[in-house]
Amino acid sequence: MLTADSRNEILAELAHSETNRMACIEALKIAQRENGWVSDGQLREVADLLEMTPDEVDGVATFYNLIRRRPVGRHVILLCASVSCWVMGYAILRARVKQTLGIEPGQTTADGRFTILENQCLGACDHAPVLMINDDLYRDVDPEQLGDILAKYA
């Protein structure tokens, strides 16, 4: 269920969008901020507000890879798996993240603290390897720094 604040924010987004469809991704991002992912119920509410069908909104949600349709931990680690990061040490970084948290990409730690997701380019290729935790982008990541980085997220 969307909060009143989220509904109002989505309506404000709609008010300055040329078409309802153009507001869809922003509306989904607003919904996702509540719990870190978009539930079926939230998706239906977004569809109602945008006067779109749930299938249409789900199509946008599943196409746009920063919208999550399954529950996640309190903090989401996006590991860039695109070419520049591959070349610059993605495999070592990925192995270190997995080893440190004891989970595979796509999984959430038992305490609900972290979810690891692999992602395509995070837009900082000249600073590969890159990872993102929530909205924080980490560039030129040295796997040795991983413990310090993760310690910032309770």
Which helix (H) or strand (E) segment is 35 a member of?
helix 24-35
Q: Based on CB atoms, which residue is closest to ligand FES, 103 or 125?
A: 125
CB of 141 to ligand FES, least distance (A): 10
What distances in angstroms separate CA 9 from CA 21, 24, 47, 111, 119, one per listed residue?
16, 12, 14, 31, 27
CB of 86 to ligand FES, least distance (A): 7
CB of 67 to ligand FES, least distance (A): 19
User: Which residues lie near ligand FES (CB under 6 A)?
Assistant: 80, 82-85, 121-125, 128, 130
Q: Based on CB atoms, which residue is closest to ligand FES, 82 or 100?
A: 82
Q: How far apart are CA 131 and CA 129, in angstroms?
A: 7
Contact at 8 Å (CB) between 25 and 64? yes
Q: Based on CB atoms, which residue is closest to ligand FES, 39 or 82?
A: 82
